Amino acid sequence: MNLRIFRHIADLRAELDALRAQGKRIACVPTMGNLHEGHLQLIHLARKNADIVVATIFVNRLQFGLNEDWDQYPRTFDSDCQKLDAARCDYLFFPDETEMYPNGMEGQTRVLAPTMTDILCGASRPGHFEGVTTVVTKLFHIVEPDVAIFGLKDYQQLAIVKRMATDLCMGVEIIGAPIARDKDGLALSSRNAYITEDERPKANQLHQSLSNAKQKIEQGERDFRAIEESAKAEIEAAGFRLDYFSVCNAETLDPAVDDDKELAILGALFTSAARLIDNLTLNLK
């Protein structure tokens, strides 16, 4: 195996400092493990944008709510390492919680983004994005990457991380990677493993409703709230509970208005044991 694994910050920093001194461009791909093809596409994109690719695996308890699945979240370290090695990832940073939060969780300094964090996914997962921005900031300080790759499936997360990097004057380029999908359009996700056999044939309903909404807008419809209500009805008719479905300004994530040209359509639904998210974007210019 060519993949080199680091558990400690000091060791990784020493390795990357030497490479940086040689003029190497470094990419970071933050993950929580349980890797699938979507994650590997992030690695491939990182390889195209840097000389050195550093993946991170850390199941960050700070971004999980009280009733969420932190303790049940799949840990598949051996399989993840094999996949990263096959994808030609150079380094894996795999810290434990003590390494990432040496003073404990309660007293941990937090990074709080001022906008876009209490709507959409943030409304149903209070504190989630505070956990994301905190751990991503820590990872950026540890790796000091020139570029970081995030999946577009987590569109709100990507938008918040971009805003955070700009606000905090971080010298890292943030790149969004296209959504990896199954043959029926279902966005690949670690949580897809929770979908039951009975639900799986209909699990692409969110993507289908997003596609329907995008088509209506492209055909000239501008009653965005009516489009959202129609999508809600489609999703509920398929037997799923809707979390949200929103046509937004692609940059601010505010509800879209008539003169917005760059739009993001975002949705989330609940299966019996999973919460699925997806999105599509369009440019009306």
DSSP letters for 115-159:
SSSSSTHHHHSTTHHHHHHHHHHHHHHHH--SEEEEETTSHHHHH
Residues 33 and 128 in one domain: yes
Return mean pLDDT, the chain. Answer: 95
Residues 157 and 87 in one domain: yes
> What element of type H or E holds 282?
strand 275-283
Could you give the number of structural domains in the chain?
2
Domain encompassing residue 11 = 4-177
pLDDT in tens, 65-110: 866 778 888 899 999 999 999 999 999 999 999 999 999 988 899 9
Q: To the nearest 10°, the Cα dihedral for 178, 180, 183, 189?
A: -140
Active-site pick, 39, 44, 128, 141:
39
> What element of type H or E holds 244?
strand 241-249
Beta pairing, strands 52-57 & 26-31: parallel
Name the β-bridge partners of 262: 283
- CATH for 36: 3.40.50.620
For residue 70, give the DSSP letter.
Answer: T
Residues 43 and 158 in one domain: yes
Q: To the nearest 10°, the Cα dihedral for 165, 158, 107, 32?
A: -130
pLDDT in tens, 43-64: 999 999 999 999 999 999 999 9
- The residue whose two tokens read 């030497």 is 18
pLDDT computed for residue 19 by the predictor:
98
* Catalytic site includes residue 128: no
Residues 43 and 125 in one domain: yes
What string of DSSP letters covers 10-54?
HHHHHHHHHHHHTT--EEEEEE-S---HHHHHHHHHHHHH-SEEE
Q: Which pTM does this prediction carry? A: 0.94
**Does 185 reside within a domain?**
no
**Does 184 reside within a domain?**
no
Residues 73 and 144 in one domain: yes
pLDDT computed for residue 191 by the predictor:
87
In the chain, pLDDT over 90 holds for what percent of residues?
91
Residues 8 and 131 in one domain: yes
Contact 122, 116 (CB under 8 A): yes
pLDDT computed for residue 111 by the predictor:
96
